[in-house]
Structure 1
Amino acid sequence: MEDSSRTQTNTIMRRSIFSFLQNYHYFTTTAAILAFPYSLSILVSQFSVPHSPLLPAIHGQLKSIFMAAEFPPSSNLFTLLSFKISQTVSSSIFALPFTLSFFLLSKASVFHLLKHNNPDFSSIFSLYKPLFSTFVCNFFLLLAANSTAFSILFFGFHFINGFGFLSSPNWLTFMSAAGAVVYSMILANAIIVCNLALVCSGMEKSGGYMAILKACVLIKGRTLSALALAVPGNLVLAAIEALFHYRVVSRAYGYGRGDDFCGFSMGLEGVLIAYLYSIFVVVDTVVSSMFFKSCKSEGRCCYRIEIVAEEDGNAYVKLKNIEEFP
């Protein structure tokens, strides 16, 4: 199983690199430029969000929720978790206008080229509606995943606390580590499904919850491959964010008046880092698209999603098992 997953991952990575190099000029110009405002907003949020009143407000609300749920206040897990979630939510709100416009259009440009090999801007804009509806449904899916994870942690900590184990620092550390693993697994699977649902929307123009259902069916039995493909891309994006913080944000705090050339060079460096971030956003989209094509082309048992209309006018979703041997 592990050998098969590793082989599939290597094959998809090779196909992704080949496809990116084959359409290098389009991906590094049109697609990357469309993603550039989104990338810049994500990076600039590192500088603006910590000084905005939004972050402490969200952080305070999360701390209140954790205290009301009677999570152990001495656990570093919930202190770190509340702060990171607050940062993520604040940055997402700051970048939301650019996410709903330039980010989705950049993905649409990649999907359309990989499917039709024809960069037609009118067709790119036609993909925006299904991508937007899927993005909205992804938001509720991530919200449900976080709620599920916190519910599991709530019952787990209170169950262990009923036996008096949490009074021991060792047990508290063990439960915190186990909680971090459970939360990471649930959130990682939800993010993978959301990314694949966006690819389904772009490749098949089926937006909304139908794209999420198709993604859940396609991901069955391929979770390890999806994780192996998603982790490197997220690590690279996190490294670029750290580079921006080190080269631009930290220098901006020590920027003095009269250093006009230093300010210009720092701004230019920030633009170049944002462009690099955009390129890797495009690369991640290409990898997700190749993974989607691999899932569709595998000659194994698959499912067809049908909408069955009843006489009373209500529509029901039906998963029909089909044996395909291409």
Structure 2
Amino acid sequence: MEVSSGLSPKGNSNALHREKDEENVGPNPENVELETVSNDFQSDYHIHSLSALEILRETVRILRYNSTGFMTIVALLICPVSAVLLSNVLVDESLVKRLTLRLLLIAKSSGLPLNSFIKHSCQKFSEMAVSVTMCFPLFVTLSLLSKAAVVYSVDCTYSRKKFDPSKFYVIISKIWNRIVLTYLWVCAVLSGCVSLFLVLLVAVSSVFLIMGFSSDLIIYAAMFVGLIFSVVLANAIIICNIAVVISVLEDVSGPQALIRSSLLIRGQTQVGLLIFLGSTIGMAFVEGLFEHRVKTLSYGDGSSRIWEGPLLVLMYSFVVLIDSMMSTVFYFSCKSYRMESANEENEPVLEALTIASASTDVQ
């Protein structure tokens, strides 16, 4: 089935204004706030993209309008994954220790000094690798479904509609395969980046060791490689996040979604990096609090964990929600800018899927 490639907030608003004038319907109190949201969004949107702060403000306005729907997504889809991630309940400590030991042996053979920083880095990397592997079934089901639900909710907001679970079920059943395919490609790309970094780190360290440099110079070189890798990984994550959004809103998937994402955000990478930096800092802050307050520290008999644990899980879930919403708004920002520059206007893809499904049911 051929569908249009994208959704323009401006196009949706204009179409809805025409429908409203044709039907001569009076003002609906439920749409007053969203009317402001749409108008505010358009007022910032004259052939210039939104900044990271403007995207955050737009995200807050969307969240206020459809708070019930987004809170439902948090409670049913995001919180369970966040609780498992923060608690590391699925992580096998024996695997973490074995992987940490192997990384330390590789680091030592490459000439890196086994100081506290290297040991801590190997420990954290091992925990992350084991956690991601063990939690992959959750990521490819609940987490991916939550991202799709967030994208659908933002799309509904720009269409001045409430979140409809039945419509979402119809849509997700039609596009789930392409979302999963895109996510698998995302995992492959990120895994390739990490693997390339490890190979490059070992190679650089080994070359410096063979050339007779001291361990201090070797660790400085490793830190330089790590700095470059962090920038590359951040850009890759931004492209991958937008690719998932594209796989929901457009009829593309897999490598095509990744290529389209890289083209779409061209020239807007700085905004994406700021969004990624803010989300990463927020998640790391909550993870640190959970590690210190719940896993390590407790008052008396440990009763503080009863309320601090769920509170931090909720905070982490909220940060994940905001990150997904900002990625979606960032997509709309880039898309609207490209469409206005090219004087194009597209119809909503998800709405087209819903209409097509309804027509099929009638027949």
Q: TM-score, normalised by structure 1?
A: 0.78
Q: In the alignment, what sits opposite 1:25?
A: 68
TM-superposed deviation, 1:199: 1.3
Q: Closer, same or farther in 2 for the Cα pair 1:123/1:300, shift >3 Å?
A: closer
Contact kept? 2:113, 2:219, Cα under 8 Å: no
Higher RCO, Cα 8 Å, sep 6+:
2
Tell me which amino acid in the other structure corresponds to 2:283.
L
Contact kept? 2:286, 2:316, Cα under 8 Å: yes
Tell me which amino acid in the other structure corresponds to 1:174.
Y
Q: How far apart, in 1, do the equivalents of 2:183 and 2:310 lie?
A: 27
TM-superposed deviation, 1:255: 6.8
Which one of the candidate residues 224, 231, 239 is aligned to 1:185?
231
TM-superposed deviation, 1:20: 1.5
Q: How far apart, in 2, do the equivalents of 1:279 and 1:33 lie?
A: 13
Tell me which amino acid in the other structure corresponds to 2:144.
L
1:135 aligns with 2:183: yes
SS at match of 1:12: helix
Greater percentage in strand: 1
1:57 aligns with 2:75: no
Q: How far apart, in 2, do the equivalents of 1:20 and 1:250 lie?
A: 34
SS at match of 2:135: helix
Which one of the candidate residues 24, 41, 44 is aligned to 2:84?
41
Q: How far apart, in 1, do the equivalents of 2:307 and 2:75 lie?
A: 17
SS at match of 1:298: helix
Q: In the alignment, what sits opposite 2:36?
A: none
1:156 aligns with 2:204: yes
TM-superposed deviation, 1:113: 1.5
CA RMSD of superposed structures (Å): 2.9
Q: What do residues 116-164 of structure 1 show as CA deviations (whole Å, max 9, x unaligned)?
A: 3442331363243322222211111011111222343344334444543
What are structure 2's unaligned runs of at least 5 residues?
1-46, 345-363
Q: TM-score, normalised by structure 2?
A: 0.70
TM-superposed deviation, 1:300: 7.8
Q: Closer, same or farther in 2 for the Cα pair 1:283/1:205, shift >3 Å?
A: farther
- Between 1:283-292 and 1:187-196, the stretch displaced more is 187-196
Tell me which amino acid in the other structure corresponds to 1:125.
I
Which one of the candidate residues 106, 114, 120 is aligned to 2:164?
120
Q: How far apart, in 2, do the equivalents of 1:62 and 1:174 lie?
A: 18
TM-superposed deviation, 1:8: 2.1
TM-superposed deviation, 1:178: 0.9
Which one of the candidate residues 308, 316, 335 is aligned to 1:296?
335
TM-superposed deviation, 1:228: 0.4
Q: How far apart, in 2, do the equivalents of 1:154 and 1:198 lie?
A: 32
Q: What do residues 235-268 of structure 1 show as CA deviations (whole Å, max 9, x unaligned)?
A: 111111122222221246x875xxxxx54x6234
